[in-house]
Structure 1
Amino acid sequence: MAGSATTVGVLAVTATLAVGFLAAGGAAATAARAAGAADAAALAAADTASGLVPGEPCARAADVASRVGASVSACRIDGLIVTIEVSIGVGPLDARARARAGPPPGAG
């Protein structure tokens, strides 16, 4: 009887840890996806702000971010430097990421 109670306890702890690790892994993957979306959106917006691509920079960023399931929550343009913040819903929470893009410091 004592052995089966110990076995049930060990299985319960193992199952709890497994669920926790799966949730943490999923959150890490979503955070990486959000970071990639922010980078791509910022680069697209910077290209648009510099005139390489026609259109409006924040609209371009929103289009690029939406292709990977992210939404732009902030878009700031300072000359040719663009800062984008995106979010991706993860259940009741959001994974957020921010990226900046533009010419290198001291360029042109």
Structure 2
Amino acid sequence: MAGSATTIGVLAVTATLTVGFVAAGAAAASSARAAGVADVAALAAADTASGLVAGEPCARAADVAGRVGASLTACRIDGLIATVEVSLDVGPLAARARARAGPPPGSP
């Protein structure tokens, strides 16, 4: 009896840790994906703000984010610098990321 109780306890702890590690891995992957989407959306907005691409910068960023299933939650254009925030739904939770793009500091 004592051996089976110990075995059940070890299996329960192992299952709990496995579920925790899988959830943490999924959260890290979702966070990385959201960061990538924010980077691309910020670059698209900065390209549009600089005149490289026609259109309105925040609309371009929203379009880019929407193509991969994310939504643009904030967009600010300051000269040629674009700062965006995106939200990516992952099951019942949402991964959020912010990115900034524009010309390098000190450029003409």
Normalising by structure 2, report the TM-score: 0.96
In structure 2, C-alpha distance between the alignment counterparts of 1:105 and 1:53, rounded to whole Å: 21
Q: CA deviation at 1:43?
A: 0.2
Q: Quick check: 1:26 aligned with 2:31?
A: no
Counterpart for residue 70 of structure 1: 70
5+ residue gaps, structure 1, are none
Normalising by structure 1, report the TM-score: 0.96
Counterpart for residue 55 of structure 1: 55
The superposition leaves residues 53-102 of structure 1 with CA deviations (integer Å, 9 ceiling, x where unpaired) of: 00110111011111222111000000110000001112332211100001
5+ residue gaps, structure 2, are none
Moved >6 Å (runs of 4+): none
| Structure 1 counterpart of 2:25, one-letter code | G
Aligned length: 108
Q: CA RMSD in A?
A: 0.8
Q: CA deviation at 1:23?
A: 0.5
